[in-house]
């Protein structure tokens, strides 16, 4: 398993999910914009590393999901609204960073502990968790590689 975002990107390249020209990171100013949008003093280190390494695009990874800059801007408010509408606002811990939303009904966030949670509309519990953002990304890349008929 990759231990850094750079080694994760190498995995994406090896699997064909991305090519060198389809992996684009954010600038430090764009990372600062994400941090301000989330209204937090800091972003989890692994998320900041992700943004700087592949925060604008990571090939075909998570296609159709708002997970990349600039579509992540505004997700903190959208995510809270989704959870409020489903009587699940208590699921989002204080200081969490909303990192993704799929089609307006699935939400992904990083807790201050670094754990990534996945929520699906209509539920009052978290659908699934991963120990870290990197674990989630690796899991998603492996599932996508299998769906494409390959392996990571």
Domains of the chain with CATH codes? 5-147 (3.40.1580.10)
Tokens of 83: 């959870």
CB-based contact 1:11 (threshold 8 Å): no
CB-based contact 75:40 (threshold 8 Å): no
Residue 151, pLDDT > 60, answer no
The band of 148, judged by pLDDT with boundaries at 50, 70 and 90, is confident
pTM, whole model, 2 decimals?
Answer: 0.94
Residue 125: CB atoms within 10 Å: 8
Q: What are 119-134's pLDDT values in tens digits?
A: 999 999 999 999 999 9
Question: Regarding beta strands 57-58 and 65-66, do their DSSP bridges make them parallel or antiparallel, or are they unpaired?
Answer: unpaired
**Calpha distance 138→7 (Å, rounded):** 11
Q: What are 46-85's pLDDT values in tens digits?
A: 999 999 999 999 999 999 999 999 999 999 999 999 999 9
**Calpha distance 2→92 (Å, rounded):** 28
Where on the phi/psi map is residue 42: left (φ > 0), alpha (ψ -120 to 50), or beta? Answer: beta
The band of 150, judged by pLDDT with boundaries at 50, 70 and 90, is low
Closest CA to 67 of 99, 24, 27, 34: 99
Question: What is the residue whose two structure tokens read 């993704």?
Answer: 100
Three-state DSSP state, 61:
coil
């Amino acid at each position: 398993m990759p231990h850094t975002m750079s080694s994760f990107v190498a995995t994406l390249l090896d699997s064909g999910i991305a090519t060198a020209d389809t992996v684009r990171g954010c600038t430090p100013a764009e990372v600062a914009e994400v941090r301000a949008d989330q209204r937090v003093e800091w972003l989890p280190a692994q998320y900041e590393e992700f943004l700087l390494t592949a925060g604008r695009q990571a090939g075909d990874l998570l296609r159709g999901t708002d997970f990349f800059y600039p579509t992540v801007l505004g997700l903190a408010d959208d995510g809270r609204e989704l959870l409020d509408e489903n009587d699940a606002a208590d699921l989002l811990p204080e200081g969490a960073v909303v990192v993704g939303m799929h089609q307006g009904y699935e939400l992904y966030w990083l807790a201050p502990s670094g754990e990534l949670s996945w929520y699906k509309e209509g539920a009052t519990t978290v659908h699934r968790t991963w120990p870290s953002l990197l674990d989630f990304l690796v899991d998603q890349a492996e599932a996508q590689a299998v769906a494409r008929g390959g392996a990571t």
